[in-house]
Structure formats: structure tokens, C-alpha cells
Amino acid sequence: MITRISARGAITILAFFTLAIPFGVQAEDYLSPVGVTPDPSGEFLYIVCSTGNQIARFDIKSETTTQTFELGNAPTGVAVSPDGGRIYVTDESPDGKVWVFDTASANLISHISVGHTPVAPTISPDGKKLTVCNRFDNSVSFIDLETERVIATIPAAREPIAAALTPDGNTLIVANHLPDGPANTGMISAKIQVFDTESRRILATIPLPNGSTSLRGVCISPDGRYAYVTHILGRYLLPTTQLDRGWMNTNAVSVIDIQEKRLLNTLLLDNIDQGSANPWGVSCTPDGKRLVVSHSGTHELSLIDRERLHEKLSAAEEPDQIPNDLAFLVGIRQRIPLEGKGPRGLAVVGDQAYVAEYFSDSLAVVDLERKESLRARSIPLQDPVPMTDVRKGELLFHDASVCFQHWQSCATCHPDARTDALNWDLLNDGLGSPKNTKNMLLAHQTPPTSMTGVRDNAEISVRAGFRYIEFTVLPEEEIRTVDEYLKSLTPVPSPYLVDGELSEAAKRGEVVFKKANCHHCHPEPLYTDLQRYDVGTGEGNEAGTEFDTPTLIESWRTAPYLYDGRAATMKDVFKWHQGTEQLTDKEIDDLVEYVLSL
């Protein structure tokens, strides 16, 4: 294997191994639908096709794609103007843009520059304002559509990834993907933020229950009173001695009281002996009677009686116990298996639910008016494309149906194959030694694996993960595809780069990096020497422990830091790092800028 790296830390990996790749098939040959947005007329759907680099306009009556809007890279979301004449598409790029298309001609009208990896575009009822979440800039941009200019960009919490606007357009609810802060405090959770769209101020920041992470979807009830947020609820305070009954990861919806700006409660979507892993999309039916949730890990929908849900919440004698009650939804929720794989974003139009099925390149349709025996059908969005080993491995990485009782998948603790920001006691180096979840990027290229290097390489860790975390045994030819998927991961360019290059501060930090001898243990091109050292950070049971030298590539994305996540920021890391005592505050700031640019 040959690894090349540019001065700004972007890696190109040329791996020489044999894959069972169907001849000529490329990633862009898959559509990979991730989101669905209805046209105001109710006649069309706009489907966000991630790897297909396009938006597909889907005619509901004929159930066919009638038009495509081509982008140069992956779309992440779409909003439709109130008159249906334009769509606004966010894209997955460091120099993020909103693409403005005319829906009649499918012509590109203009671009609006926003932040790094814009997602979740929402448009005001009068069609004059647009908001987007800049995921990796940790901010929300407010755009005047008459001038097509950004009028304000407001800092948000960590990785704002989903947003919904109240019917009056006055309040924006933003779901932030991951927790921020240290991971060793006994309380860590991702947050919901409430924005006033007129003043463009944050009115409230609402922490979800302890262990809440991997937020994916948010919707608002038709009356504008409640918001519903999908997420994982990790039981990270317990050692992972058992998987049954979900006491590692459970799957949840949190209910936000918008008027009071507080968390009303959190309810579990799992059954007592069957998880409903990795909830993603969420939507209310237009009449407000039901809540629909997609489960990307178990390939199903939940259909919840929303009126009875709130009756139960109001009548609960012990509301504090609801987040631990696996039977709370019994009698008011139906689980509907889907034909396709990897359901993500969804929309409800009239009596029909439409769900993007990522791995099947298809659209699921469920007739919600069928009171009994609800069934889904799957509409292909294109002719089948053979699956490469990488694609098979990506599916298996996200597939919780192979897990004992379907509680979780690899992607539960490694969303987007990165980190959930929690500490887990996986027992692989003894009881009572929790470690922070690692990024899977470059795992196969930087052995050994785990914080203390207890496993020689990522191949061993992948197989141990299925056996000891998902409690399943799979054929070697299937597990091998997960290796190939993880090897295919490439770094996302850092938001600290300026036009793709190191900033002036980062350039100074590169000099400090060498002055402080950081490059001895973190040499290019992978920024690790693949060795273990006692660097003096071990505490308690970990005192004197030798830790694996991690790669610094994409470290901007993987806070908190150190083996126990005690360092909330990279600057905090240097408080515990021997060899930086002689640096000035300015040098440390520059050093941080450089490391976070890799």
C-alpha cells in the first residue's frame, strides 16, 4: 500500500488489494437516496440522491422520476419554494454552497456560498428566507432569498445536522449531531437549540438525556407546539457485559415543548427483546395524529399514535422513568418492516409515507390509512447496480439486523464511521477501564487498534466487534467487506483550512509542531509512528499505561481527546502533554490550529 499526503493533510491512499468489484461500477453509479421533500402541490417529491450527485423529481401519481437536477458533488438536503418554482439544494463540500434550480427547466440559476458541509435547508412560509446548518463549521446561516445573500451566521453547538421550522416561520429547531465537552464527567449529551428567526438569536440550548448522541432527524407537529428528535441513547455508564434489553445502546425520540423551550421527555423506540436500531427520519402526519420514524439499522418504520403518546406522557406517575421504559409504546406503536435497506429521510404526503432507502436505491411507500396489516412496498429509482465489496461492507457496517436482538450496528457507536463522543467499557482490557470511541478512518492503515493497542490490527478488531459487541458470528467473506469499506474511507478536509491550505496561524503551528518534537511520534504521512508510549496521562487503573499513538488526521472531528475523553478541546490536550511546558500561549494556539488543520 502506498500512502501520499499533501502539505495540508489531505490523504490519497492507493491500496493494492483484490476486490470483487463488478466491472465498471463506481460509487456514483449508486443513487444512495438520503432525503425526501414534497412539493407544495403534493404532486411531486424531491429525492436527495447522495452518491448519485443529483436531486430526483419523483411524480407521485405515475411513481416515476420525471426530472433530475445534477450537481458536481453530493447533495445533503433540499428545500422547495412555496410556489414550487425553485429548489434550494445544499451540498457536501468544504466550500459549501446552496444550489438554486428552476424546477420547470431544471436549469441552475445561481449558487449561494455558505459554510463547510451545509445541510438541512429550511425555507420560510413566505419564501423570502432560507436557513442552512453548516455542519462542520458548527453554525447556522440565515439567507435573504431576494438578494441571495447570507445576512447572518450564528454559532451553534456541535455539528448541527437537522433542522425544522415552526409553521409560522418564527422558530427554528436545530438538532446537533454529537455531544460536546469532556466525556468523563458522568453527564454528556447532544443538544437541541431553539433559534428566533427574526432576531436570529439562540433562545434556548436544551441538553437531551445523559448518553444522547447521533442525532439524525427533527420534525415539528402541525400545530407548532412540539418538536420530535431521533437519536441514540447510550448506556455508557455501565460496562458492556450484556446486550440484551438494550443496556448498551437504546434508540429514542425526544419530545421538545417549543413554547416552554424544554425537554418534555424521551421515549424508547425498542421493544423489550427487540431493538429498533439507529432511528433517522421523523415526520408527523398532516393531521397531527401520528408520528412516523424510520430505523436505518433495522430497515423498518415506527408508526406512533401521537395523541395517545401525549396522553401517556401527561398521565405518567413517574415521568423520570420513561427514558428507561422499554414498554412505554406498547399498544400505541406499530413496527412496519420495509422491503429496502437503509431507510433514512422520509416525508408524509396525504395518507402516504415515503422513505428514502439508501442501500436499495429505492423509495419505500406505506399507505397509512390501512388500519391493519400495514405493509410497505419499494419502488426502484433506477435499474439495479451490482454491489461492490465496499458497498456490501458499508451496508453490513450499518446493518443492525445481524446483531443479537437488533439493538445496534457498527454505525451506532461509529456514526459515519467516526465517533459517538462517549466512553465505553468494552472489557477488552479489563473491567473498569472505559475508553473514548475512536474514529475508524485509517484504522486499517495505522495498527494496532484500540487506545492501548490490545488488538494487533483492525481486521481483528472488526471481527471482535461482531462477536463481542453485536453477539453474532458471520461468514468471513461477509466480514471482509467491512474491512474494504473502512479502507475506502477518505478524510474530510478540515474546516480550519483556508481555501484548502494552511492558515497563517497553522503555518506557524507547523514550525512549533517540530520545535516541540511532536513530529517524532506523529510523523508524516499518517502522523503516527504506530508505537505505544506511557505519556503520563494515565490515571487510576490506567497509571503507567502505554497508549497507542493516534493519527492526527481528522482530529478536528473527533473530540473529546485522550483515552478517557477528559480533554474537551485540543488546547486542553496540551495541558496534559509533556514537552509543551516551554511554549508560549501564542505558540500553543498556533500549534492547535495546525493540528486541527490536518
Grid coordinates belonging to 536: 503520563
What are the phi and psi torsion angles at 391 (to 5°)?
A: -65, -40
**What pLDDT digit, counting tens, does each position of 36-53 carry?**
999 999 999 999 999 999
Cα three-residue angle 407-412-418, rounded to 5 degrees = 165
Buried b (16+ CB within 10 A) or exposed e, 381-391: beeeeebbbbb
In terms of DSSP bridges, do strands 435-436 and 423-424 run parallel, antiparallel, or are they unpaired? antiparallel
DSSP 465: I
Q: Which comes out higher in pLDDT, residue 472 or 72? A: 472
Quick one: which of 448, 423, 503, 492 has its CA closest to 239? 423
Q: Is the model's pLDDT at 151 over the cut of 70?
A: yes
pTM confidence score: 0.94
Backbone angles phi, psi at 564, to 5 degrees: -105, 10
CB 457 within 8 A of CB 448: yes
pLDDT band (50, 70, 90) for residue 581: confident
What pLDDT, in 10s, does the model give residues 323-348? 999 999 999 999 999 999 999 999 99
Residues in the chain: 598
> Are the C-beta atoms of residues 505 and 515 closer than 8 Å to each other?
no
The predicted-structure confidence for 408-466, as pLDDT tens digits, reads as follows 999 999 999 999 999 999 888 878 889 999 999 999 999 999 899 999 999 999 999 99
The amino acid at 589: D
- Tally Cβ neighbours within 10 Å of residue 202: 17
Tell me the pLDDT band of 371, cut-offs 50, 70 and 90: low
pLDDT score for 301: 97
Asked whether the predicted pLDDT for residue 321 surpasses 70, the reply is yes
Does residue 528 register a pLDDT over 70? yes
Alpha carbons 443 and 482: distance in angstroms, whole number: 12
Dihedral sign, CA of 193, 261, 150, 120?
Answer: positive
Is pLDDT of 6 > 70?
no
- From first CA to last CA, the distance across the chain in angstroms is 21
Domains, the chain, in order of start with CATH, read 2-23+390-487 (1.10.760), 504-595 (1.10.760.10)
3 state SS of 244: helix
Residues 449, 460: Cα–Cα separation, whole Å: 9
- The sign of the torsion formed by the CA atoms of 74, 128, 226, 209 equals positive
- The pLDDT tens digits for 228-268 are 999 999 999 988 887 777 789 999 999 999 999 999 999 99
Q: Is the pLDDT of residue 598 over 80?
A: yes
Is the predicted pLDDT of residue 19 greater than 80, yes or no? no
Report the percent of the chain where pLDDT is more than 90: 87
